[in-house]
Amino acid sequence: QVQVVESGGGLVQIGGSLRLSCVVSGSTGNRYAMGWFRQAPGKEREFVGGTNKNGYRKDYSDSVRGRFTISRDPTKNTMSLQMNDLKPEDTAVYYCAAKANPRLAVPTTVTGYDNWGQGTQVTVSA
């Protein structure tokens, strides 16, 4: 059974930084595309960024490009999200997602992934 586990959320001041980590376990030789999504209260879950299965392709939403950076170890199915210059609008529950044996493109939609973590809260305050 595949498990996706995030860690690293917390409370940070405006302009601060946080690093989230994600691990996919329970697979048997599968390679995964991995992505980060976030969901704020009353809003839909939205794509933040992701990588394809070999880690060579990365994609980011316009709202975080230049501030957030994804790192990926495809041999271990692990991924991190370095978040810098955080803003109040970044406050949300952040989810890691994984897609087994995908095509080379980076999935950017919720339906593009079939394994999800429980989420970790990120709160940016003044």
Q: What is the pLDDT of residues 3-46, one digit of tens each?
A: 999 999 999 999 999 999 999 988 767 889 999 999 999 999 99
pLDDT value, residue 26: 84
Residue 84 Cα distances to 7, 20, 39, 96, 124, angstroms: 17, 11, 18, 18, 11
Q: Closest Cα to residue 94, out of 4, 2, 9, 3?
A: 9
Question: How many angstroms from the chain centroid is the CA of residue 20?
Answer: 8
Each residue's pLDDT tens digit, 37-71: 999 999 999 999 999 988 889 999 999 999 999 99
Strand 46-51 versus strand 32-39 pairing type: antiparallel
Span 92-110, mean pLDDT?
A: 92
pLDDT value, residue 5: 96
pLDDT value, residue 75: 81
